[in-house]
Chain A
Amino acid sequence: MHQEDDVKLPSRRALLGMIGQVAGGAAMYQAMSSIGYAAESDYRGPVKLSRAKPGATVLVLGAGLAGMTAAYELRAAGYKVQILEFNQRAGGRNWSLRGGDRYTELGGATQNVDFAKGNYINPGPWRIPYHHHAVLDYCKRLGVALEPFIQVNYNAYLHNTNAFGGKPQRFRHLQTDLQGNVAELLAKVTNQGGLDQAVTKEDRERLLEGLKAWGTLDKDYRYVASSATSDKRGYEIDPGGGLMPLAKASQPIDLKDILGSGMWAQVNSGNLYEFQSAIFEPVGGMDQIGKAFERELKPLIRYSTKVTRIEQSANKVTVTYVDADKGGAPRQASADWCVCTIPLSILSQIDVQVGDPMKNAIAAVPYGASVKVGLEFKRRFWEEDEQIYGGISQTNLPIRNISYPSTGFFSKGPGVLLGCYAFDNVHAFRFTAMSPEERVRAALEMGAQIHPQYKSEFKTGVAVAWNRVPFINGCYARWTNELREQHYQNLCAVDGRIVLAGEHASYIPAWMEGAILSALDAIERLHAKAQAA
């Protein structure tokens, strides 16, 4: 904040208390829960490892972003590197599904993706915050083209089945009106003497001035229909040219309806550090990052390789594996050192020769559930009928989000929506427990409450439930503070000749940044040990 504008506002606690008094506990809770917490990336630029000892070898388990980051940097330092990968492709959770792709989940259900050429869905990560410096730097170094990801769209919807008769509301309306109504209330409290104890007279005047600007209040500190408020929330009739109809201000939503909407947290979600502008996506699908790494490392990767045992002795690591598709006799690979990026959900089921502290840590961390459904429609009705270009509509329905593509605007022909993003709640489990076909139908049924065009425009869909993804059995490591206190150090420490890496060994779980930072930190420590050995 600029020095001259340094208005001394009441403390956050005082403000929340006031909101609680005037709007009730539920509103206060919403306001509190919208105050987010986010971990900051600690990337300090490309890792600089000294020259490895001649002939030193490393076995990397997993060709996801963590494994490939480790392999890329260790090879550059002079190590001879081999990567073992379960899938027939590299990338891990960095993954996109396109027309022509075939995906078989655990349980055997196979989906043949039928999207039109150029359309895709990212079942895993789908956006890169501007402060995920490591991911962005690798994109730059590996030549991955990025484009803006539209997170907040003022013309997208907020929808709650229990508010406004279930009618979706434009984000700009709720956002502006919430701010305006809260400003009016706070001004009222201030003018009635409610803040006389909390702030000085001078500051009360500054507060009122600030509220007027922030909440678009009139000279009497009221939030009413006017060209000023319509300049923020939009007009009922937009200003035109020539003899077109005169502009008409739009009518704000009543305070009572705003308070009853239960949508405060949704209005604020775009303010979270992780979701603030600018935020990016790779051109052509998130898997472009994995593919870029794969281009660099392809000769090092052994695909379709299922690890069954990890052993170590005083001078080497030996990994036993079988062919994931054909089975057959177990084979072995050995190296001086090992970077293991196998997710804990899988690693906890593998015989790993490490000490009890690491073993207990591997066994301790549950994996979260998450489900995404991609829906392709015959035309971009959200653009053509509703002027929604990218961004996310939010709902209290189990689908939670409808995300519109941030690319290909105004194009004719089929477009793909993210029609469901259930994440780490009871609904994610319910979706997982359905067949893929049922997930698509459920997402369509719910989404049609927001976009009635769903029913007539639907073309095809694909559904990915992470618990049923064969290489991971879950979505991400669901740490709690208690678990971290007990196990995190032990999970990350080098055990003999083995170090673990991945989003599960980071404080940025479920994000690609966590995977890459974890790998960079792990190889620095492993390398230091290797140099000293």
Chain B
Amino acid sequence: MFKLLPAVATATALLAGAPATHAQTAAPQPTLTSQQLAASFSTNTARFTQQGGETLYRSICQGCHMPGGEGAHSGAGFFPDLRKNQKLAAGAYPALVVLNGLHGMPPFGHQLDDQQVADVVNYIRSNFGNQYSDVLTPQVVSGMRPATK
């Protein structure tokens, strides 16, 4: 989409930062150059084209749940804290929330494919102090979508 297309691959890799670990908090985010920032957007306005759990988290979720998964608690309301979160024990729950939204959180089901939903859920469930080792598959996500899309 941009003139900067050659930088996309690099930016996406940088956005994902260090390889995923089971650290208590997320890896520190690298400082992206302005070109890398511009290239880190989706190539499509209707769907997220970013791939991989960490890149998707950095592209979407951390807007509200924050880079370390801590959420926000200083405002009139809050954004839930994802760290050591027992509601993530079953992968189906976060997958349903990502697909359908919850309260003010909008649904993302129409902007992410099954693989992307599975990836971002698996990322959250194995980071931020969460150590759920079972993996949510795209097939299971597919089955959770409403019959009519």
Contact call A465/B76, Cβ cutoff below 8 A: no
15 contacts between A and B (CB under 8 A): A106-B64, A107-B67, A161-B1, A346-B104, A365-B104, A369-B63, A398-B38, A429-B63, A433-B59, A441-B37, A445-B4, A467-B63, A468-B64, A469-B75, A471-B76
Beyond A107-B66, A432-B63, whether A346 also contacts B76 by CB under 8 A is: yes
Q: A445 with B37: in contact, given A396-B1, A426-B44, A433-B63 (CB under 8 Å)?
A: yes
Would you call B34 and A445 a contact (CB within 8 A)? Answer: yes
Let me know if B37 and A438 touch, CB within 8 A. Answer: yes
A426/B37 in contact, CB under 8 A: no
* CB under 8 Å from chain B, chain A span 356-399: 363, 365-369, 396-398
The answer to whether A430 touches B40, judged by C-beta atoms less than 8 angstroms apart, is yes
Chain B interface bracket (under 10, 10 to 19, 20 to 34, 35 or more) = 35 or more
Contacts of B61 in A (CB 8 A): 433
Whether B18 is near chain A, meaning CB under 8 Å from some CB there, is: no
Report if A316 contacts B (CB, 8 A).
Answer: no
Interface size grouping (class) on chain A: 35 or more
- B17-43 at interface with A (beta carbon < 8 Å): 32, 34-35, 37-38, 40-42
A442 within 8 A of B: yes
Residues of A within 8 A of B105 (CB): 366-367
Are A442 and B106 in touch, CB under 8 angstroms?
A: no
Of the listed stretches A52-60, A174-182, A472-480, A489-497, chain B binds: A472-480
Separation of A349 and B78 alpha carbons in the complex (Å)? 8
What is the chain A residue whose CB lies nearest that of B57?
A433
How far does the alpha carbon of A442 sit from the alpha carbon of B4 in the complex, in Å?
12
Q: Are B75 and A366 in contact (CB under 8 A)?
A: no
Q: Answer whether residue A348 sits at the interface, using C-beta atoms and an 8 A cutoff.
A: yes
Tally of A-B Cβ pairs under 8 angstroms:
129
Q: Which residues of B contact A367 (CB under 8 A)?
A: 104-106
Q: Residues of A at under 8 Å CB distance from B?
A: 86, 106-108, 161-162, 166, 306-307, 324, 342-346, 348-350, 363, 365-369, 396-398, 425-427, 429-430, 432-434, 438, 441-442, 444-446, 449, 465, 467-474, 478
Q: Quick check: is B86 within 8 A (CB to CB) of the other chain?
A: no
B47 within 8 A of A: yes
Q: Are A366 and B42 neighbours in the complex by a CB distance under 8 Å?
A: no
**A397/B2 contact (C-beta < 8 A), A324-B76, A345-B104, A445-B35 known:** yes
Q: What is the 8 Å Cβ interface bit string for chain B, positions 85-128, against chain A (1 contact, 0 not)?
A: 00000000000000001011111000100000000000000000
Residues from chain B with Cβ under 8 Å of A426 in the complex: 41-42, 44-48, 60, 111
**Extra inter-chain contacts (9) besides given A86-B76, A306-B76, A473-B79, CB under 8 Å:** A366-B101, A398-B42, A426-B41, A427-B42, A430-B42, A438-B32, A468-B72, A469-B75, A473-B75
Given contacts A430-B41, A478-B106, is CB(A442)–CB(B34) below 8 Å? Answer: yes
In the bound assembly, the distance between CA atoms of A472 and B72 in angstroms comes to 12
B75 touches which one: A106, A396, A432, A445 (CB < 8 A)? A106
